[in-house]
């Protein structure tokens, strides 16, 4: 086992049964191309090369590059930061995406993964709490802006939980395998996502207030303007933002924009 570098957020998973289940969740075929983020010592890579025709792996820790290349001569091991490298310069769609993701860069990696042209399927090992938030349903405590933002562009599934004791070194929390399948018809176009995100994040700041009051506080509108937007969206005034489905958030966002309000993008 290589020396762990905590500054890189490294927690290595070595259980072959769990690694095989993660690879299986990707549903790769013999002619598939897989992009792996952060192969580490190569535990998941070993399972991926059994299942796909081509594996490209991006590793930031330069001390791991030579051992990975020696162990996997058929894989393409790329040294670099996955957040900075142009993935589409390495391969072209369609491809699958997998990785054991450091907790501190989960959100930006999810954003990058779901920027068109998206992978055909994404399987990330993430913090359990993140997987719960991504897959949460309206009205639950875990449901929030992250849930809505991802569910409008992909189908999200929490496949199974991985206990903290399966990692070396042991993290403070459990992890979970998150599978994301981008929608062929996303509810929000890529060019509009920042505007939509601003509305969703803003409304979740008033998650337990009645919707008309939340809209007024978010936009500065008068009551009749807020009521008109809700009528346009087909939503009652007394519901709360925390119970709106992703599709209802889309209708409300379009109603606010139709009413003349321009969200301040984040």
- Give 17-30 pLDDT, tens digit per residue: 999 999 999 999 99
Provide the pairing of β-strand 33-37 with 154-162: unpaired
Instruction: Identify the band that residue 1 occupies on the pLDDT scale cut at 50, 70 and 90.
Output: low
- How many whole angstroms separate alpha carbon 238 and alpha carbon 23? 45
Strand runs labelled E in 120-213: 121-127, 154-162, 167-168, 175-182
102 — pLDDT class (breaks 50, 70, 90): confident
Radius of gyration for the chain, computed over Cα atoms and rounded to the nearest angstrom? 21
User: Looking at 182, 204, 235, which one is the last position of a domain?
Assistant: 182
Q: How confident is the model at residue 151 (pLDDT cuts 50, 70, 90)?
A: very high
Please indicate, yes or no, whether residues 169 and 147 belong to a single structural domain of this protein: yes
pLDDT in tens, 18-71: 999 999 999 999 999 999 999 999 999 999 999 999 999 999 999 999 999 999
**Among candidate residues 158, 140, 138, 139, the one with its CA nearest the CA of residue 148:** 138
Which of 182, 214, 240 marks a domain boundary? Answer: 182
Q: 248-257 pLDDT, tens per residue?
A: 999 999 999 9
Q: 201 and 127 share a domain?
A: no
- pTM for the complete prediction? 0.93
Residue 30 phi/psi, 5-degree rounding, is: -60, -30
End-to-end CA distance of the chain: 41
User: CATH code at 250?
Assistant: 1.10.8.100
Residue 224 covered by a domain? yes
Helix, strand or coil for residue 205? coil
Domain that holds residue 177: 6-182
pLDDT band at 104 (very low <50, low <70, confident <90, very high): confident
């Amino acid at each position: 086992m290589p020396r762990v570098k905590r500054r890189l957020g490294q927690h290595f998973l070595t259980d072959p049964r769990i690694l095989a289940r993660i690879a299986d969740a990707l549903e790769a075929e013999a002619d598939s191309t897989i992009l792996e983020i952060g192969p580490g010592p190569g535990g998941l890579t070993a399972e991926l090369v059994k299942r796909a025709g081509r594996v490209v792996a991006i590793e930031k820790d330069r001390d791991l590059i030579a051992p990975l290349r020696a162990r996997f001569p058929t894989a393409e091991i790329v040294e670099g930061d996955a957040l900075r490298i142009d993935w589409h310069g390495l391969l072209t769609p369609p491809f699958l995406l997998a990785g054991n993701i450091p907790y501190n860069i989960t959100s930006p990696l999810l954003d990058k993964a779901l920027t068109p042209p998206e992978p055909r399927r994404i399987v990330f090992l993430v913090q359990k709490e993140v997987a719960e938030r991504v897959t949460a349903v309206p009205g639950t405590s875990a449901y929030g802006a992250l849930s809505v933002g991802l569910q409008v562009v992909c189908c999200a599934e929490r496949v199974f939980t991985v206990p903290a004791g399966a990692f070396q070194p042991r993290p403070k929390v459990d992890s979970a395998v998150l599978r994301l399948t981008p929608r062929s018809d996303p509810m929000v176009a890529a060019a509009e996502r920042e505007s939509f995100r601003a509305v969703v994040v803003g409304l979740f700041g008033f998650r337990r207030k009645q919707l008309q009051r939340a809209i007024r506080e978010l936009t500065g509108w008068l009551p009749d303007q807020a009521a008109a937007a809700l009528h346009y969206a087909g939503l009652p005034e007394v519901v709360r933002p925390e119970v709106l489905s992703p599709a209802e958030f889309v209708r409300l966002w379009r109603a606010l924009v139709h009413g003349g309000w321009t969200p301040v993008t984040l």
